[in-house]
Amino acid sequence: MPTVSMTVNGKPVTAEIAPNTLLVSFLRENLRLTGTHVGCDTSQCGACVIHIDGESAKACTVLALQANGAEITTIEGLAKGNNLHPMQKAFQENHGLQCGFCTTGMIMSAVDLVKKHGKPDDATIRKGLEGNICRCTGYQNIVKSVKAAAQEMEG
């Protein structure tokens, strides 16, 4: 079996894996980082979004081997110790989550969205999160959360 090496949440990891192992399976099963979720099988729902070298990506559509040498950040690595990322705080402050299943992917997508757009308006946020499905919130409080976090992230 081939060997894969990458940095996950700041820690170097190396493992022997079957070549068809998806990155999301590697994170969930091998590293037991279960905050990254699987909600569909067609790369539509966005529950599995992580950052690869700082860019958001759907971990269900990347082979672990493709991430060889990459810097991976998952939801577990977003906070600095006990200090939550402003996006995490904003989701709690603005009731941006209900069941929580889509939330981790939603937060990871939103962080990248704000990085790219600065202070996005409602329409930009809604368009930017088009690849993340939430069945609970109707998105309104997610939009509110992202806007609030954007203020903090800039400041």
Partner 1 sequence: MGTQTGIGASVKRKEDKRFIIGKGRYLDDISRPGQTYGYFIRSPHAHAKITSLDSTAALKAPGVVAVLTGPDMQADGIGPLICGWGITSKDGTPHKAPAHPALAIGRVRYVGHQVALVVAETLQQARDAAELVEIEYEELDHVIEVGDALAAGAPQIHDDVPGNLSFDWELGDRAKTDGAISAAHHVTRMKLRNNRLIPNAMEPRAALGDYDSGTDEITLYTTSQNPHVHRLVLSAFNAVAPEHKLRVIAPDVGGGFGSKIFIYSEETVCAWATKKLNRPIKWTAERSESFLSDAHGRDHETFAEMAFDANGKILGLKVSTKANVGCYLSTFASAVPTYLYGTLLSGQYTIPAIYCEVQAGFTNTAPVDAYRGAGRPEATYVVERMIEIGAREMGIDPAEIRKRNFIAPDAYPYETPVIMTYDSGNYALAMDKALEAIDYSGFAARKAQSQTKGKLRGIGFSAFIEACGIAPSAAVGSLGAGVGLWESAQVRFNPTGSVTVFTGSHSHGQGHETTFAQIISDQLGVPIDQVEISHGDTGKVPFGMGTYGSRSLAVGGSAIMKAIDKIVEKSKKIAAHTLEASVEDIEHSGGVFKVAGTDKQMTMAEIAFSAYVPHNYPADVEPGMDETAFYDPLNFTFPAGTHIAEVEIDPDTGTTEILDWVAVDDFGNVINPMIVEGQVHGGIAQGIGQALLENCVYDKESGQLLTGSYMDYCMPRADDLPTFRVQTINTPCKTNPLGVKGCGEAGAISAPAALMNAITNALGKEIDMPATPEKVWRAAQGL
| Angle (CA) 112 129 117, round 5° | 45
Instruction: Output 69 or 92, the one with its CB closest to partner 1.
Output: 92
Report CA-CA distances (Å) from 142 to 17, 93, 102, 131. Answer: 36, 11, 11, 14
Instruction: Output 11 or 69, the one with its CB closest to partner 1.
Output: 11
Contact 77, 8 (CB under 8 A): yes
Contact 40, 17 (CB under 8 A): no
Question: Which residues of this protein are in contact with partner 1, per CB under 8 A?
Answer: 18, 28, 33-42, 44-45, 47, 74-76, 78-79, 84, 88, 91-93, 95, 97-104, 107, 122-123, 125-127, 129-130, 132-143
Q: Which residues contact 117 (CB under 8 A, 6 or more apart)?
A: 124, 128, 150
Instruction: Output 69 or 122, the one with its CB closest to partner 1.
Output: 122
> How near is the Cβ of 70 to partner 1 at its closest, in Å?
19
Distance between CA atoms of residues 36 and 46, nearest Å = 10
Distance between CA atoms of residues 115 and 80, nearest Å = 17
> How near is the Cβ of 152 to partner 1 at its closest, in Å?
14
Instruction: Output 40 or 69, the one with its CB closest to partner 1.
Output: 40
Strands 11-16 vs 3-8: parallel, antiparallel or unpaired: antiparallel
> How near is the Cβ of 5 to partner 1 at its closest, in Å?
23
> How near is the Cβ of 76 to partner 1 at its closest, in Å?
5
Instruction: Output 44 or 69, the one with its CB closest to partner 1.
Output: 44
> How near is the Cβ of 44 to partner 1 at its closest, in Å?
4
